[in-house]
Structure 1
């Protein structure tokens, strides 16, 4: 029955494409391009085709042209030390399903050393079936790629589908610069294997271990809520929370705790210290735990905070604590916010407050001068006003959630992957934000189970539902619960890529600054002007908050140019140091 439904879907898609000759011709050209490489039979006829696509492009299995992918013959990746990057391999079988497909990848070998296959992984991309959302427009309703099925060891590629495989490589901080070569082998049980060539270029610098862009993310009550369907024991919850925090650390993201209704415990402080977290929420303060009689948080919460604060100091954790308070509240609750913020300043003057309350002046005209950091929604962020607030010592972050919609970027299932990457990277740098907030990283809504099976999964992607019943696909849901913890997604991979892009920009800015301070002012100014073409609003990548680059090739070109700026600035700085000896 399942195979019959897939064949019918293929027939319906073909019929729709035939109704528009230009689309049908484009699809045939795409098929032909995919079939340029792959195994052949005894009569030299292709059995299945294999091509390579960028990691910033979604390729739906039955609508592959939706996001206009460009194809290549081999995997080519450039990355710095302490960076992870990926590519997608597209497999198309026009004559028969490919059964029990397995993947194998080699070490990457170069003149100066090698990258072990332990630092590489590959897995099929899974599909989730969307329904039409109520609040925003989408170009297509149906099967979208999203989860990366790292738990799947064998998988089927359906007849006529475009199946993507995610290939990821990580370079250690001490990986020597240079070119490394290897392969990825795709082996169906009912067809010959095919080997995809891999070339990885490691750049002569490394990204910092600790993230430069601060993040604050949520998971409501963590594993307790996300895995409630299995009624986990205390020990099971502890293990899952550990897996979740470690997953976020690998993706340059702080622990998911902004809405958690209790302060952290010593085991968490120790883990966050080990993982190099940059910040964490000491407690969520909001109206439900406010005592109007005293104008302070309720007594029990105060006691919990005092316990956690003492344990935090004893732990030696380097991450900076903050209080997250009053999520998206309007003026009606501002008097209460002032009381709570004043209580924080009195009792914990070294712990700043962060809020998404709806104050477009960032405290400049509202009287909310006890707030240390405001976080407006991304499309309402005002750079000039944020600079004024920062001049007074106030930080200004930004966030997305169930909005904004196009033309602004967001992380919905139906939105381009480049949106996610730019939000965390070039856009956050261009608009000088002090941090990025996202309210929920994984959602049990409409599922209440671990993801399983695939590539076609039974996971319902409608991860957010409003009080009026309206649904969003992928909102508040960037990774999937698996039996052993988080299962990544193509959006989560681009989330990390964006944070790594941000590091490139920081390194370039710091390299030109140091060159200038060392006496190379003229050269530093020239390099800074070149950097500005990629880094500032109104330039090549980010024209405005709702107008930005959509071609992955532009991002790749930018990273190549920014890398050149870093390398040249450091080379000239070293030359000046040698001259000064």
Structure 2
């Protein structure tokens, strides 16, 4: 990892004689005053993953960790472990952030420890995932580590596997961008190489493991030729790329993408050819029986001069049938009728005093009343969640208007990274869009040292390029981020609340969500509060589940949502 890292010198974390277990909702920064416990206790539903942080005393230059397995009433549960790396933030995203080192990349334990600031904390991220078929009950084990060849630590782990089950496929449709070409550039590979395409699948697999569906991918449309007005497509390459994600065969859990984008094709030139091509695309999905929502992503964030193009795109897709038209825009009387999925930014749903951050703010119920009944409403984050220029705004009222929002920025509190899932449940929105997960690969010389885009640290980038230079082995791997874990945990919050609502406790679920996320810009940042609410929801779910029809079913124990 050596030469690729630039470290920011900060005050040292006070050395502790014993390891400390800290909530995953606390970002462990140099010099931070931490509250923790000597042992780890986790609760995990079947079909869920939960993580916790173990802060080791002092600075570990050489670290050896014994594999952690937890024994209990069923098959032993293995734990996945990473070492937390740090991103040097040179310009804060806004007043909620700060310069200095922020934890974000999750490094394999085999990665070399970088030379640099000796005061950076040594933090392990430990994650336990319970498969759907795991026997409920209490599982125990001990995390044992040796560092600097001499010092040894032992951290007891207790994991309570709950009887209720979360669905493998997200109940909330999502679509996050990813690009073969950005991945290839970030890793220094030829995008046409088998290695780059295998790496794309690895990145998309990680997204699916975190309940996230992807659009873009290779971006290569299936080749097409036209005969007698009919589009004849060669699906071989497309099906090889996308089939495992749409059929649920990639992961043992059977998880599938909830959505897929209709890829435009320059071989379709005339209006008739484009309609025929779109129709063939939709028919292929129907023939395959893929339940994912197929959508056409129109011109992104259309300006007034783009309106004719977006309307033309919508007419073609609707003439073909079988696909939804997605338009990223606040409510606009001209564009809205052309959308089957209207996706304004998060800021457009929550009124707030001060300078406007969306030109047409409508609460969800008000927005639905303005739209045709069948129109779905999604949302997405943009730089409006932190300000688009970087650093605190000179005007205090403007800075306040861009603060407090749910955010995927590195230098924002972890609860803001996690908030989109509970917000989706509390609001009733139909899905979440995000423009990219590897954007900085294409724009930055070294994403490991700089993720500032659109005024935010990490805007559009949820991974780091795991190259041989950084990981110390011969391969290329996606390095996931703490923020991706928080995003996943928020989607699991959504599943908890949705399941509790389905079991007849809608009012309790709604109140629990609103205790944490009162609006898109009024979100609890107290990790203890998030933990307490999850404990209350878990207890309520156990009670409801024990008398439900799902608890008596063999095989799958929870309804599988159809996007």
Which category describes the TM-score, using the shorter chain as reference length?
0.7 to 0.9
Change (3 A) 1:225 1:331: farther
Q: What are the ranges of 5 or more consecutive residues in structure 1 without an aligned counterpart?
A: 15-26, 38-49, 452-458, 513-526
Question: 1:509/1:390 Cα in 2 relative to 1: closer, same or farther (>3 Å)?
Answer: farther
C-alpha distance in structure 2 between counterparts of 1:310 and 1:401, whole Å: 33
Contact 1:445 1:462 in 2 (8 A): no
Matched, 1:560 2:519: no
Is the 8 Å Cα contact of residues 261 and 283 (structure 1) preserved in structure 2? Answer: yes
Report 1:172-571 matches (<5 A): 172-222=131-181, 225-227=184-186, 229-257=188-216, 260=219, 262=221, 265-272=238-245, 273=247, 274-275=249-250, 276-283=256-263, 296=271, 305=278, 308-309=281-282, 311-347=284-320, 349-356=321-328, 358-361=329-332, 365-366=333-334, 368-381=336-349, 382-389=363-370, 392-405=373-386, 406-423=403-420, 425-443=421-439, 444-445=441-442, 447=444, 459-464=448-453, 471-482=455-466, 483-512=475-504, 527-535=505-513, 539-571=514-546
Is this contact kept in 1: 2:86–2:105, CA < 8 A?
Answer: yes
TM-score, normalised relative to structure 2? 0.79
Conserved 8 A contact 1:411-1:475: yes
Q: How does 1:103-182 map to 2 (within 5 A)?
A: 103-110=65-72, 112-117=73-78, 120-133=79-92, 136-150=94-108, 152-153=110-111, 155=113, 159-182=118-141
Are residues 1:64 and 2:32 paired?
Answer: yes
State the SS of the aligned residue for 1:540. Answer: helix
* CA deviation after TM superposition for structure 1 residue 153, in Å: 4.7
Q: Is the 8 A contact 1:216 1:258 kept in 2?
A: no
* Superposed displacement of residue 304, structure 1: 6.0
Go from structure 1 to structure 2 and tell me whether the alpha carbon gap of 1:463 and 1:486 turns closer, same or farther (over 3 Å shift): farther
Structure 1 residues 214 and 156: alpha-carbon distance in aligned structure 2, compared to 1, 3 A threshold: same
Higher helix share: 1
Any idea what SS the aligned residue of 1:197 has? strand
Alpha-carbon distance in 2 for matches of 1:575, 1:141: 49
Give the conservation status (yes or no) of the 8 Å contact 1:226–1:448: no
Give the superposition deviation at 1:440.
0.5
Q: Contact 1:278/1:319 (CA < 8 Å) preserved in 2? A: yes
| Cα distance in 1 for residues equivalent to 2:264 and 2:452 | 23
What is the deviation of 1:493?
0.8
Q: Alpha-carbon deviation of 1:142?
A: 1.5
Task: Give the root-mean-square deviation of aligned CA atoms.
Answer: 3.3
* Residue equivalent to 2:555: none
CA gap of 1:502–1:8, structure 2 versus 1, over 3 A, is closer
Aligned to 1:516: none
Structure having the higher Rg: 1
Deviations 1:44-95 (A, max 9, x none): xxxxxx11111111112x2324xxx4211111111100111100011232xx
Using the size of structure 1 for normalisation, the TM-score is: 0.77
Q: CA deviation at 1:429?
A: 0.8
Name structure 2 gaps, 5 residues minimum.
Answer: 223-236, 251-255, 350-362, 387-402, 467-474, 553-563
